[in-house]
Structure 1
Amino acid sequence: MPAAAAFEVTVPATSANLGAGYDSFGLALDLRDEVTASLCVEPVDPVRCVEVEGEGEGSLPGDRSHLVHRIASTVLAERGLADLADRLLLHCLNRIPQSRGMGSSASAVVAGISIADALSAGAGLPEPPAAEKLAWATRFEGHPDNAAPALYGGVSVSYADAQGRPQSASIPVDPRVSAALVIPSARLDTAVARSLIPATVPHAQAAANSAVAGLFVHAISSAPELLFDATADRLHQEFRRPAMPEALARVDALRAAGLAAVVSGAGPTVLVLGTGGDLAERTAAALPGDDARVRGAQISEAGATTTALSPAPGAV
């Protein structure tokens, strides 16, 4: 079908919480989903407007209910550009494992917002400020810990300001720090994992967690030798053990080996932070006989990117 414009959006995988930073800390990883968006000249078939390749192929919807298309359509409609969504055709190349705690839904949400932003720019609307993009992403995701690094890259701490608006601040990353991921075949629904966390915890427990969260900022930015102590969580991981006993057993084994291991997001993937080019090898060695996939990773300084494939100024 003829296209008036086309562009590619890439969004990184993310890992949230990072131990003590529940619903606040997050980082971007060098594993990216890609979405090719084409704005067709005529409306497209609404039940065949999304093609999925890779993760989720054969199970994710190919109609306008697909998360990326749905987010783009919602944003466009609120900007008075609903007609553009009728002409939107997507090809999604998914590399981020889904329902594993690696931010696949945040990636899809940010991709949808980025597509809407590109189409809005083609229609002559100004580029929205970063805070507006984070507000959109938080609205759809529910909290900003994955959304912020998906948008901006790097390591971030997200919070609500005095007016309750989501905000995010970037944390510098010591160049020696890298990561390893222990990715199981099992999946876990985020809602299930969150449902196990109690509404309140003892004051002493919260105070101890606050101290570790503060230490993490120092460790990730300039003292990676402290990452083991800086990733000890007291707010959420242990409560989730019934839903992911294998993931927490991996965390236990890795920490017993001296590695700074945490549950990645809602799990069941495990994230290890550390230094040295052999971090993935040391991670695998601490889990003998485990059938989960161990993958080395780098923290990605780049967040979501948008690249024009067929510039067509004024075509929209």
Structure 2
Amino acid sequence: MGVRVVVPASSANIGPGYDAFGLALGIHNEFEGELAAAWGVEVSGEGAGSLSADADNHVLRAMAHLFERTGRPDLRAEVVCHNGIPVGRGLGSSSSAIVGGLVLADALAGSHLDRRAIFEMAAALEGHADNVAAALYGGFVITSDGPACTHIDPAGGIAAIVVLGERELSTHQARSVLPGFVPHSDAAANAAHAALLAVGIATGQPGCVAAGMFDAIHERYRALLVPDMVTVRELFEAIGAGPAVLSGAGPSMLALVQAENDERALERARHLAEVARTALGEVGRGQVMAVPVDRHGARIV
């Protein structure tokens, strides 16, 4: 019997929360699978023709890992991936694949692992925890080495505006431009901004969110790889959409919109996205999306 798993996109860092903050977004990958005599994978949608269709595919690797860890290394599966998350744009496509593979394998094997165990496996496979935590738990997450994770269901209404990068940017490349050390003043500023942002999302206070979405330790260096980053940020502030930050390693950018409920927040995000879409077309950033925050995370449907 087949199983279908839906996993959201995710935005990591969100400005000052470098390698610590993650937010699940309402763009999804779907993975359908059933046990079979041999491994097989088919990819449609985003990444079709470029993502691996062999054993090194992220979904299959994650499934094989869980089968091995749960004492069923003999299991194999055929999987169909319906991808809605853009690849290599800072929206957690690889984390979605890893989480989707683990949840799918857990269901097919009947191993009934809790989410903490799946989270630890996903973080080990991905190499860091922020994106996988958001994809698995939904909502807003704070992660640290260990790995440890705190999940927060955002208070009030919240939605996001995503300015999609026109080209792929690998996390490895984006990390390569970062310095080995940052000044104490920058680290202190980031700690303050991260605290404000987390409080704002947890309590629904828009003033805290707007004040907190400023980074001092990674975005200025990654601007070398995302040359229109400052232009996008200034335009978003000018149209009243608030500060825009890199989504993950970039090149996509993200702004947060708050209101009394999610429906109103998404409605406001759509209006601002339309305004931004017209203005950003002049700098080649015409693909702007208003998306809800996914509060549920990975789920079997």
Fold in common (TM above 0.5) = yes
**2:223 corresponds to:** 241
Matched, 1:169 2:173: no
Alignment of structure 1 residues 181-200 onto 2, 5 Å: 181-200=162-181
Alignment of structure 1 residues 1-316 onto 2, 5 Å: 5-40=1-36, 43-44=37-38, 46=39, 49-85=40-76, 88-121=77-110, 125=111, 127-160=112-145, 165-221=146-202, 222-258=204-240, 259-275=242-258, 276=265, 277=268, 278-292=271-285, 293-307=287-301
Whole-angstrom CA distance in 2 between matches of 1:192 and 1:298: 29
Q: Deviations over 1:135-187 (max 9, x none)?
A: 11110111111011100000111123xxxx21111223133321111013211
Q: Which structure has the highest helix share of the two?
A: 2
Whole-angstrom CA distance in 1 between matches of 2:217 and 2:12: 14
Whole-angstrom CA distance in 2 between matches of 1:177 and 1:78: 38
Whole-angstrom CA distance in 1 between matches of 2:283 and 2:33: 39
TM-score, normalised via structure 2 length:
0.90
Whole-angstrom CA distance in 2 between matches of 1:94 and 1:214: 34
What displacement does 1:64 show? 1.8
Distance 1:225 1:280, change over 3 A: farther
What displacement does 1:219 show? 1.5
Unaligned runs of 5+ in 2: 259-264
Paired residues, what number? 288
Q: Deviations over 1:76-114 (max 9, x none)?
A: 1222211112xx101000000000000000001101111
TM-score, normalised via structure 1 length:
0.86
Which amino acid in the other structure matches residue 62 of structure 1? A
Whole-angstrom CA distance in 2 between matches of 1:21 and 1:134: 19
Whole-angstrom CA distance in 2 between matches of 1:68 and 1:231: 33
What displacement does 1:217 show? 1.4
Whole-angstrom CA distance in 2 between matches of 1:62 and 1:225: 46
Unaligned runs of 5+ in 1: 308-316
What displacement does 1:131 show? 2.0
Which amino acid in the other structure matches residue 55 of structure 1? E
Q: Deviations over 1:230-275 (max 9, x none)?
A: 1010111001111221334323432455522100001000001123
Query: Equivalent pairs: percent with the same residue?
Result: 37
